[in-house]
C-alpha cells in the first residue's frame, strides 16, 4: 500500500461547480499537509498549506485535514476553466515541509468544462 | 526574482550513457530537493540537502544515481550508466521556510 492514495481521475465538472479532491494516507507521523497544482509540462506550485487537523480557506480554495481519519480534502468553489490542472496532495513528517522531503499522492487530473 | 533553474530542459540519450542534470536554487534558500515524476509512480523524492549537506538519500533508486551540492547555488544529479527505466521528468525544488518551490523540470528520455 502506498503511503498516500489519491484518485487519478480524470474528474470533469462544469464551470461554476464545487470541486472536491481528496487523499488518504497511512502514516500517522505526517504533520504538515499541502496541495500543489501542476499545469501540463510545468513544475508543481503550492496552493494550500495546513498544519495538523482543521480547515484553512484562501479565496475560492478550502483545505481540510482530518488526522483521526487520515483524510485530507481540497475544495474549489466557483470553479473556472483556468483551474483545469493536476492537483497533488503532499505531506511531511516535520520541519513544516521546508526542510523535509515531501511524500506526494499521484495527483488528480481536473477538467473544468466551459 | 528568478525561480529555480534547471538544465537541460530536455535530454535524450542512449542506454549506458552518463547523464548529468543541473539545478540552481533560489538565492537564499538553504534546502534543496530532487524529485522524479513518472506516470506509474507519480512524484517521488530522491534526495534532499540542508545547507549543502545530504540529509536523506533513501529515495535514490540505485548506486547508478548520485547527487552533489558543492555550494549553495548549484546541485547536480548524475545517472551512470543510464537505463530506459530512468526515463522520467526530474524536478529540483528549493526552500527557505515551509514552501518548496519547484523548477520547470528536466524531461529525460533514455533510448
| Burial classification of residue A87, based on how many CB atoms lie within 10 Å of its CB (0-12 exposed, 13-18 middle, 19 or more buried) | buried
Return the half-sphere exposure (C-beta side, CA atoms, 13 A cut-off) of residue B13.
23
CA of A56 vs chain B CAs: smallest distance (Å): 16
pLDDT of A51 reads: 84
The confidence score (pLDDT) of residue B1 equals 64
Residue A106 has pLDDT above 90, yes or no: yes
Average the pLDDT over A22-44 and give the result.
Answer: 94
Nearest-CA distance A47 → chain B (Å): 10
Report residue B70 as a C-alpha cell: 558543492
Q: Which residues of chain B have pLDDT under 50?
A: none
The pLDDT value recorded for residue A97 is 57
What is the C-alpha separation between A63 and A88, in angstroms, rounded? 13
| pLDDT bucket at A95, cuts 50 / 70 / 90 | low
Interatomic CA distance for residues A14 and A112, integer angstroms: 6
User: pLDDT tens digit string along A71-83?
Assistant: 999 999 999 999 9
Who contacts B51 (Cβ-Cβ below 8 Å, separation ≥6)? Answer: B30, B72
CB B75 within 8 A of CB B32: yes
Kindly indicate the confidence band of residue A42, based on its pLDDT and cuts at 50, 70 and 90.
Answer: very high
pLDDT of residue B62: 87
Q: Residue A53 has what pLDDT?
A: 83
* pLDDT value at residue A98: 65
Chain B residue numbers touching A33 (CB-CB < 8 A): none
pLDDT value of position B73:
95
Q: What is the pLDDT of residue A1?
A: 66
Amino acid at each position: 500500500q502506498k503511503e498516500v492514495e489519491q484518485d487519478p481521475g480524470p474528474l470533469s465538472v462544469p464551470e461554476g461547480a464545487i470541486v472536491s479532491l481528496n487523499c488518504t494516507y497511512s502514516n500517522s507521523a505526517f504533520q504538515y499537509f499541502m496541495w500543489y497544482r501542476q499545469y501540463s509540462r510545468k513544475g508543481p506550485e503550492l496552493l494550500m498549506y495546513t498544519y495538523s487537523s482543521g480547515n484553512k480557506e484562501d479565496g475560492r480554495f478550502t483545505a481540510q485535514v482530518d488526522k483521526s481519519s487520515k483524510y485530507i480534502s481540497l475544495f474549489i468553489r466557483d470553479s473556472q476553466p483556468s483551474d483545469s490542472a493536476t492537483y497533488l496532495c503532499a505531506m511531511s513528517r516535520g520541519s513544516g515541509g521546508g526542510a523535509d522531503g515531501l511524500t506526494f499522492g499521484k495527483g488528480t487530473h481536473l477538467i473544468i468544462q466551459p | 526574482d528568478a525561480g529555480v533553474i534547471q538544465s537541460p530542459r530536455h535530454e535524450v540519450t542512449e542506454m549506458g550513457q552518463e547523464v548529468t542534470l543541473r539545478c540552481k536554487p533560489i538565492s537564499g534558500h538553504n534546502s534543496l530537493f530532487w524529485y522524479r515524476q513518472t506516470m506509474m509512480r507519480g512524484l517521488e523524492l530522491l534526495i534532499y540537502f540542508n545547507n549543502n549537506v545530504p540529509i536523506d538519500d533513501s529515495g535514490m533508486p540505485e548506486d547508478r544515481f548520485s547527487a552533489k551540492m558543492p555550494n549553495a547555488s548549484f546541485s547536480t544529479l548524475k545517472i551512470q550508466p543510464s537505463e530506459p527505466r530512468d526515463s522520467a521528468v526530474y524536478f529540483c525544488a528549493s526552500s527557505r521556510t515551509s514552501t518548496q518551490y519547484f523548477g520547470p523540470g528536466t524531461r529525460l528520455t533514455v533510448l
